[in-house]
Structure 1
Amino acid sequence: MTFRNMLSAVLLGICLLPSAWADEAMTPDKRKAVDEVLATMDIKRLSSQLKEVVLGRWVMQVSRNAPQAISADKSLTDAQKKKLMDNGDKVIKILADDFKKNLDKIDTAKIMQEAMASAYGKSLNEKELHELAAFNSTPTGKKVLQAQAQIGADTMQAAMQSVSEQLKGGHSVPLTEVVKRIDAK
């Protein structure tokens, strides 16, 4: 299992916790209960995975947009543009190294901890948080914490594959039709 899949599953799990379940405000006692739950999790590992996911997605985005950005950059000469275009992998590596340096300056552990605290605090009451912390400390709870990311990643992969298969053969609206629809409005 890749770190990206694991973190995506954890983040998905956090995002899917229904905030409608919240039945009390974040009191100091509730915050202590949230912190008790978070203490059962490996926040440093999760924050490291967050950095990897952010970097990976940034590299994918830059790789997709680099040719257009290089072509549109008026500060570059044609020779510089050609050099950059001919050395795409090196360009991405240099940019990614610089981005990673900046990313490393961010306290992702604190960001992850606060995001999780907010999500759990909104979704569970104090009693449930204590129960979750107790469960997470059991052998089964520890196993669930370890397996949860893989289960989430496997679920998302299977669901996305199924959706993709069902969309095959579906027709996208031709851009000429989009233009017509814009003109009609």
Structure 2
Amino acid sequence: MSETVLQVEHVTMQFGGVVAVNDLSLEVNKGEIVALIGPNGAGKTTAFNCITGVYEPTNGRVSFLGEPMVENFPQGKMQKLYAGENKGLFTHRRNPTPDHITQLGIARTFQNIRLFGALTVFDNVLIAKHMRARQNFLSATFRLNAREERRMREEAMALLEEQNLAHLKDEVAGSLPYGLQRRLEIARALATSPR
């Protein structure tokens, strides 16, 4: 039996009277590759924004590795405007922010590339490695974390090699052509060690 990694249950995202995602349910099991396809304006990006905490869905639940991560129901003015199903099925909980969801093990790239354009290719990946660094202000200030910093640099370089970007490590990220920027964004997402 497959382990469910990500479960989306009856997620609806409504902006005022516009329902961008309506009653979306899907399951991703360990080792599966799942695609979400549809025409422009179908709500694909909005669905990913709900899963990754960029938007708090109007209604529904997102679970990661069997634990509810995002859960909401229509509140305030939205209770009167709500046009979706399952209005009373879910509870409201304090939903995690996108950075917390990344720490849980979900990584993503964006439709519009979001790199640190003025930094080097290497620094863009290294910044993402720091998300899981075990250091504090004192250890970073006095360089007591040299071994960990060396490990992160080696892992960042390995990701650049994997994406065939190692030869561009000192280039400014914003100067790369679109396709290479996309691969850099993938390397940066992988640098967060997603599950």
Identify, as 1 or 2, the structure richer in strand: 2
Relative contact order, CA 8 A, sep 6+: which one is greater? Answer: 1
Structure whose alpha-carbon radius of gyration is higher: 1
- TM-score range, shorter-chain basis? under 0.3
TM-score with structure 2 setting the length: 0.22
